[in-house]
Amino acid sequence: MNKLLLNIAAIMAAIVVINCFVKVDNTDEVALARVLDEDMYYDVESNVESAIYIGNQYMNDDERKEMLVNIAEGLGIKGDYDMVSENTDTGRTLILSKKAKSASTYIKLTTVERQVSNSQISLSQYLYTRMEFEGSPESAVYYKEKLDGILKKMGYNENSSVNYTGKCAGNLSKTQKNKITSDIIRNLSGKETDRVCTDDIYTVYGYSEYIPGEVRVDGRKTNFNLAFSYDENENATILHISAPIITADY
């Protein structure tokens, strides 16, 4: 279904011991994840994120816990997780988290309360899920699809985003970055839709019909985004790849 999405993907939540190898079919989704399989990259990390509004319905404590546990179990987490409930200035949060040797899962249900009148409170519920992986970028694709399937069964059609980073030694020149970018876009059977390239910023947006979902950037259909940053302390260039767009600072 998506060869490109694999390279761009990540799914987190209940990461059942992702120390073992997760087999992923060699479909169109794999291309993005495999961008960082090359020997030139090290410290490869990936993550999957989903942030959605799930309505204004009231849920008691047991229902809130049940929702997070069901998501975690769907992702493969069977107990041995932490569950923390907190009151905030604007409502409540319930967080389920799990850490493994090379992966972590974080699921948060946030209830925002607003006083409408002396006798009435309006509620807004938000669900945030993040899974982080060290190495094995193709695992992110597997879990992204799993998370999207879970959310769809719950009645939410929003797709999660997948994000990859990998380091390569030295401060790459603009020519080198252009070459890497061209190769990635070609491998994704995609096209460039926009770019911002200065002395300090190098980011490129693109679109591929093989990657599911899209957003609009300056009115153009976009479903993948890559960028380069430089770490002076390590003397390393960091390649960032996301589908549909990069949302983290870099």
Phi, psi of 170 (to 5 degrees): 90, 175
Q: For the segment 1-47, what is each residue's pLDDT rounded down to a tens digit?
A: 444 444 333 322 222 222 222 333 334 456 676 777 667 889 989 99
Mean pLDDT, the chain, integer: 84
| CA–CA dist 64, 111 (Å, integer) | 10
Check whether 65 has a pLDDT greater than 50: yes
Domain boundaries, the chain: 3-25+47-160, 165-243
Nearest CA among 163, 158, 139 for reference residue 248: 163
Q: For the segment 98-123, what is each residue's pLDDT rounded down to a tens digit?
A: 998 889 999 999 999 988 888 788 99
Query: Per-residue DSSP letters for the chain?
Result: --HHHHHT----TT---TTSPPP---STBHHHHGGGGSTT-EEEEEEEEEEEEEES----HHHHHHHHHHHHHHTT--S--EEEEEE-SSEEEEEEEEE-SSEEEEEEEEEEEEEEETTEEEEEEEEEEEEEEES-THHHHHHHHHHHHHHHHTT--PPPEEEEEEEEES---HHHHHHHHHHHHHHTT-EEEEEEE-SS-EEEEEE-TTS---EEETTEEE-EEEEEEEETTTTEEEEEEEES---S--
Global pTM? 0.78
> What CATH fold (topology level) applies to the domain 3-25+47-160?
TBP-like (3.30.2030)
The reported pLDDT for the residue numbered 201 is 92
The reported pLDDT for the residue numbered 40 is 82
Region 142-153: mean pLDDT is 93
Region 61-87: mean pLDDT is 94
Token code pair at residue 171: 């401060």
The reported pLDDT for the residue numbered 153 is 95
Q: For the segment 81-99, what is each residue's pLDDT rounded down to a tens digit?
A: 999 999 999 999 999 999 9
